[in-house]
């Protein structure tokens, strides 16, 4: 927030969701966002738009070409943890600040923390799950640190947009079911209690907007070279699938994933992906950055990690600067100003506050419009 506040020319609309888009031909003219608590609506007009919603909501509403996996997509997770009921520090920290939300600081305490049977939870009474005795997964820490991590993931064959609350509920039913089984069936962890749980599901996959290049996993494997390399990738082709050891009797309700591993999911990094994955092929003024960019179903595996997504945002910002300066579309940046984009991409982010024009060879007549 401090960084955002420092940024001149940036106006932030917190707690607003875009839920309608006005278009004229193949142009987005404005988006309308609604405040999630007051319901007040604000219409934001612009020359260029960037869809970084993860679900590609702006592009979808504007009629941009997109793809989505009907089934076999990656799921969503609600991370959760348990804590020592006897340790006031842990309890208070968690209740006041969510400070330790992602850590597993669990030690047995001196105070009993009984837990009821939960009839509406997933019934895991006789099912294996990570953290339960005898259940092995692809992670190997203490049993309790297997609870609530990234691999507690559901929704593989569900619609990650329309059914996300169902997926979130399934994650929570798995959490309560596991804790119920550990406490009341196995008789473990008498002095621990559930500490924290995310109530919004963290998504991995939904719609992908199609650009002039649709990057494929095959490109990563073959090391395809592009004339417009824009952002480096190094994470492997990591597509989560339901873990075969834990979902057998729970068709449609699988709640544990495994990451894809092995040679076919590796490539030589850093792999430079093309700029042309960052704008829509049929909506002329629409950029995209993040996990909703132009990739095929497998190539979302390497591109979706946080720093890679962040770098896409930087490139989009720089390309947008060129669009405004030279009155071109995102595609026009590739067609007419690729050399300039490449120069800009070599500059550190802080350059935007300086007079970049002086340090770059701009075509004659270029100026601020």
Separation CA 135–CA 143 (nearest Å): 9
Separation CA 129–CA 126 (nearest Å): 10
Q: Which residues contact 14 (CB under 8 A, 6 or more apart)?
A: none
Site string for ligand FAD, 32-61 (x = CB under 6 A): --------------------xxxx-x----
Residue list 154-193, contact with ligand FAD (CB under 6 A): none
Size of the site for ligand FAD (CB under 6 A): 19
The single residue among 113, 305, 311, 328 that binds ligand FAD, judged by CB under 6 A, is 305
Site string for ligand FAD, 191-220 (x = CB under 6 A): -----------xxx----------------
Question: What's the min distance (Å) between Cβ of 367 and ligand FAD?
Answer: 33
Question: What's the min distance (Å) between Cβ of 368 and ligand FAD?
Answer: 29
Separation CA 145–CA 313 (nearest Å): 34
Main-chain dihedrals φ then ψ at residue 264, nearest 5 degrees: -65, -10
C-alpha to C-alpha distances, 261 to 13, 23, 267, nearest whole angstrom: 40, 43, 12
Dump strand ranges (E) for the chain.
16-24, 27-35, 41-45, 49-51, 66-67, 76-77, 80-84, 153-154, 192-197, 208-209, 229-233, 241-242, 257-258, 271-274, 286-288
Question: What's the min distance (Å) between Cβ of 294 and ligand FAD?
Answer: 13
Nearer to ligand FAD, 141 or 359 (CB): 141
Question: What's the min distance (Å) between Cβ of 198 and ligand FAD?
Answer: 8
273 touches ligand FAD by CB under 6 A: no
Nearer to ligand FAD, 173 or 291 (CB): 291
Residue closest to ligand FAD, measured at CB:
290
290 touches ligand FAD by CB under 6 A: yes
The single residue among 17, 43, 136, 353 that binds ligand FAD, judged by CB under 6 A, is 17
Nearer to ligand FAD, 94 or 209 (CB): 209
**138 with 153: CB under 8 angstroms?**
no
309 touches ligand FAD by CB under 6 A: yes
Question: What's the min distance (Å) between Cβ of 312 and ligand FAD?
Answer: 8
Tokens, residue 125:
């009474």
Q: Which residues contact 155 (CB under 8 A, 6 or more apart)?
A: 73, 75, 76, 163, 164, 166, 167, 170, 201
Separation CA 173–CA 182 (nearest Å): 14
Site string for ligand FAD, 59-98 (x = CB under 6 A): ------------------x-x-------------------
Tokens, residue 264:
């076919």
Main-chain dihedrals φ then ψ at residue 67, nearest 5 degrees: -130, 155
102 touches ligand FAD by CB under 6 A: no
Interface ranges with ligand FAD (CB under 6 A): 17-18, 52-55, 57, 77, 79, 150, 202-204, 290-291, 304-306, 309
């Amino acid at each position: 927030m401090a960084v955002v506040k420092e940024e001149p020319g940036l106006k932030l609309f917190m707690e607003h969701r875009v839920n309608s888009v006005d278009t004229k031909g193949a142009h987005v003219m404005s988006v309308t966002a609604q405040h999630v608590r007051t319901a007040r609506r604000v219409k934001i007009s612009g020359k260029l738009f960037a869809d970084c919603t993860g679900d590609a909501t702006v592009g979808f509403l504007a009629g941009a070409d997109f793809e989505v996996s009907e089934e076999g997509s990656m799921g969503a997770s609600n991370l959760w943890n348990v804590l020592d009921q006897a340790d006031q520090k842990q309890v208070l920290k968690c209740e006041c600040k969510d400070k330790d939300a992602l850590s597993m600081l669990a030690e047995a305490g001196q105070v009993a923390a009984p837990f009821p049977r939960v009839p509406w939870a997933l019934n895991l009474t006789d099912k294996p799950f990570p953290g339960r005795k005898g259940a092995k997964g692809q992670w190997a820490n203490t049993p309790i640190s297997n609870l609530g991590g990234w691999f507690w993931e559901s929704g593989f064959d569900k619609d990650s947009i329309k059914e996300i609350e169902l997926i979130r509920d399934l994650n929570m039913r798995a959490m309560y079911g596991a804790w119920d089984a550990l406490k009341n069936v196995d008789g473990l962890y008498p002095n621990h209690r559930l500490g924290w749980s995310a109530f919004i599901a963290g998504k991995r996959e939904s719609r992908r907007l199609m650009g002039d290049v649709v990057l494929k996993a095959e490109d990563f494997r073959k090391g395809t070279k592009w004339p417009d390399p824009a952002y480096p990738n190094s994470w492997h082709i990591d597509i989560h699938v339901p873990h075969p050891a834990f979902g057998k009797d729970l068709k449609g309700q699988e709640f544990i994933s495994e990451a894809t591993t092995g040679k076919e999911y590796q490539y030589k990094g850093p792999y430079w992906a093309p700029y042309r994955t960052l704008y829509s092929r049929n909506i002329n003024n629409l950029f995209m950055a993040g996990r909703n960019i132009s990739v095929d179903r497998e190539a979302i595996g390497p591109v979706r990690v946080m720093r890679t997504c962040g770098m896409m945002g930087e490139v989009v910002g720089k390309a947008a600067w060129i669009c405004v300066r030279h009155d071109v579309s995102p595609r026009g940046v590739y067609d007419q100003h690729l050399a300039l984009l490449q120069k800009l991409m070599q500059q550190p982010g802080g350059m935007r506050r300086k007079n970049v024009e002086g340090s770059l060879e701009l075509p004659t007549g270029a100026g601020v419009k």
